[in-house]
């Protein structure tokens, strides 16, 4: 049970106890009844009115998008889920896209589960440097084709992603793992359960030390007490398009709890650099609004 849920449980229990233990002979209510209770802490108020919180976040994110239209036109999307939860809040006009190298996270965890320390060097390269050859070796170590698809799908399902279908060379026509369509809400939900999965601490440690080719979005977050772990991905939007989609799967850890993040951008220019700039804007928005976002724990 997450800390988020625990807090709600405490509030509910307090109210119930007040009713149960308030019985007795009928009498006129004293002048001080009902008692004037102090306001609930902000994090509890948000939990009791999630729809209101979602509207505020969505409105704020829409303002961010509007401010980007002239300097960085294109589509952008964001999904956030408290760690340990399945409840996704989605914003923006981009809802899904090819996973590209963000899929190296479940591929690496599947390979680690199967082979242990023997694939450690390949994991380092695949996550920290986003090395495609290393990721290809990890994929192959799972058996290739349907066997690799099954192993990675099992990791996704364990991470509460119930919908994503992994692409592979076994498809007709043949495809690639990086072509896997991965909805931002599903990816964020997977990210919210990743810290709770066996063996994932090694993957998250690598995600906390990615190289310069993945330092965008929340990777540069400098909020006091916040630590981030990320995996970037980028490539053509479609096989017929020269324009890029740029993605990031991440986890933000604070002393209040953790938040999983999935963001993506498709710049109108099609340029990779513009895509990373767009995600930097999204990362900045998350940093400014972090105090108002629901966090959780395993």
Give the pLDDT band (50/70/90) at residue 180.
very high
* pLDDT of the residue at 41: 53
Q: For the segment 244-264, what is each residue's pLDDT rounded down to a tens digit? A: 999 999 999 999 999 999 999
What does the pLDDT read at residue 60?
Answer: 82
Task: Give per-residue pLDDT as tens, 228-248.
Answer: 999 999 999 998 888 999 999
Put simply, whether the predicted model's pTM sits higher than 0.85 gets the answer no
d(CA 20, CA 25): 14
Q: Is the pLDDT of residue 6 over 50?
A: no
**Pairing status of strand 89-92 against strand 74-82:** antiparallel
92's CB contacts (< 8 A; 6+ apart) are 61, 65, 75, 76, 77, 78
Beta strands across the sheet bearing 74-82: 89-92, 74-82, 257-267, 244-254, 227-236
Look at residue 130 and give its three-state secondary structure: coil
**Per-residue confidence (pLDDT) for residue 28, from 0 to 100:** 45
CATH fold label, 45-292: Beta-lactamase (3.40.710)
> In terms of C-beta density within 10 A (0-12 exposed, 13-18 middle, 19 or more buried), how is residue 204 classed?
buried
- Domain parsing of the chain, residue ranges: 45-292
Q: For all residues of the chain together, what is the average pLDDT?
A: 85
């Amino acid at each position: 049970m997450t800390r988020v849920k625990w807090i709600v449980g405490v509030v509910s229990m307090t109210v119930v106890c007040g009713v149960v233990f308030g019985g007795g002979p009928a009498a006129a209510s004293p002048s001080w009844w009902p008692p004037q209770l102090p306001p609930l802490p902000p994090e509890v108020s948000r939990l009791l009115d999630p729809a209101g919180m979602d509207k505020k976040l969505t409105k704020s994110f829409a303002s961010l998008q509007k401010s980007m239209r002239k300097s960085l036109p294109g589509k952008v999307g964001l999904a956030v889920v408290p760690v340990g939860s399945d409840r996704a809040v989605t914003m923006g006009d981009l809802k899904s896209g090819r996973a590209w190298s963000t899929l190296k996270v479940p591929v690496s965890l599947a390979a680690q589960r199967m082979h242990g320390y023997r694939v450690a060097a390949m994991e380092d390269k695949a996550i920290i440097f986003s090395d495609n050859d290393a990721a290809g070796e990890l994929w192959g170590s799972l058996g290739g084709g349907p066997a690799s698809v099954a192993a990675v799908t099992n990791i996704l399902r364990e991470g509460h992603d119930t919908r994503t279908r992994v692409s592979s060379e076994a498809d007709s026509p043949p495809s690639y793992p990086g072509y896997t369509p991965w909805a931002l809400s599903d990816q964020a939900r997977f990210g919210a359960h990743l810290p709770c999965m066996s063996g994932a601490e090694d993957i998250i440690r690598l995600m906390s030390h990615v190289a310069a080719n993945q330092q965008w979005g929340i990777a540069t977050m400098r909020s006091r007490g916040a630590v981030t772990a990320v995996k970037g991905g980028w490539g053509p939007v479609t096989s017929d398009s020269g324009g890029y989609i740029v993605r990031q799967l991440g986890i933000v850890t604070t002393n209040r709890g953790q938040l999983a993040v999935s963001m993506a951008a498709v710049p109108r220019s099609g340029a990779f650099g513009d895509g990373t700039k767009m995600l930097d804007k999204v990362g900045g928005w998350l940093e400014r609004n972090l105090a108002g976002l629901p966090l959780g724990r395993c």
